[in-house]
Amino acid sequence: MPEERSFRDYKDEAEAWITLATGEYYPDILPDAMRLYEPVLVEFGRLLKASHSSTFLFTSIIETPNQWMRTQLCRVFKKYVSPQTPVEMLKRKGGVARIVTQFGGSFRNVVEVQQKFASRPMPDEALCAVLWEYKDRGYDLTERLFDILRSQHIGCVITGPERAGKDVLIGKVFEDYPKPDRPLDFVITEGDRVLAIGLARYDSDRGGAQEDDRTGQYREVAQEVLGYADAHGISHLKVIFVNDGPGLLLGSMWNDYAYIEDQWPGRVKVVTLRMVPDRVTAEWLRS
């Protein structure tokens, strides 16, 4: 029986294993984009008007309770105030102090932001089109992932938000988990047995700080989850990182993901959608 290929082994033919978002025609998407994102721009304008500094604006956005709205507001904040700050970092409620320390010095002055924002129409057609680019990539990825896993693993239950919806909190999976609010994109169970937990991301174009943030997050999740599994005798628990998109081909991303997989051989797998049938097998999940 041939030795199973690792994520690193696919690098020479990486382009063949990437799934590209098909997108929709421009400018056909504009009416829907403006309807969807006008409430986001209105809310951003409200928070901006009430802010005496860009740091205060950022804090106000992070305190927004609705997760979808908070994510969109972070994307608008990135465009207007801090282009160099990764949205993945902006979305984390617990990372406010770190972001302010690391990036706050380069935040655009709030008065200038207010002037720039007021100079644009409401809704801003151009910005709505930009935000629309983010809309379906992650949703399409998870929806297709769930279809593949369910067809391949009859008898297993795949839990998580297939499109929009709340993440699964790991504290709902393991009651005594030390960081119960850690979000997961999917959980694979068979009866009462948790076989795997996973994250799924679409990388359109990543690099630099964004790349470091993503791989750092993955290392942290793998170390934390598998450390918990070892301490509680759950030796079969697997961690799956599903990534797709052209961003995987940029910079050192492929090597960085391969390194994460290499650190926990047999327990962590990084896969694209096209790799799932070959690499996320029943034998591996149950081993």
Nearest-5° angle of CA 130, CA 132, CA 138? Answer: 115
Nearest to 60 by CA among 136, 115, 113, 13: 113
SS3 state at 95? helix
Peptide bond just before 183 cis, omega within 30 deg: no
In CATH terms, the fold of domain 136-286 is Trna Endonuclease; Chain: A, domain 1 (3.40.1350)
Spatial strand order of the sheet with 186-190 comes to: 157-159, 186-190, 193-202, 238-244, 268-271
> Token pair of 5, please?
């290929």
> Which helix (DSSP H) or strand (DSSP E) does residue 33 occupy?
helix 30-49
Task: Report whether 57 contacts 100 (CB < 8 A).
Answer: no
Q: What is the pLDDT of residue 7?
A: 92
Domain boundaries, the chain: 30-134, 136-286
Q: What is the pLDDT of residue 227?
A: 95
Burial of 33 (0-12, 13-18, 19+ CB in 10 A): buried
Which residues have a Cβ under 8 Å from the Cβ of 43 and sit 6 or more positions away?
A: 64, 69, 73
Q: What is the pLDDT of residue 110?
A: 94
Digits of tens for pLDDT over the chain (287 positions)?
Answer: 456 889 999 999 988 888 765 557 788 888 888 988 899 999 999 999 999 988 899 889 888 887 778 888 989 998 999 887 766 666 566 566 777 777 767 789 999 999 999 999 999 999 999 888 776 555 567 778 888 888 889 889 998 876 555 678 899 999 999 998 888 989 999 999 999 999 988 776 554 445 556 788 889 999 999 999 999 999 999 999 998 877 788 778 899 999 999 999 999 999 998 899 999 999 999 98
Q: 0.75 cut: is pTM over it?
A: no
SS3 state at 202? strand
Q: What is the pLDDT of residue 89?
A: 62
Q: What is the pLDDT of residue 207?
A: 47
Nearest to 185 by CA among 163, 210, 208, 168: 168
In whole angstroms, what is the distance from residue 142 CA to residue 31 CA?
A: 26
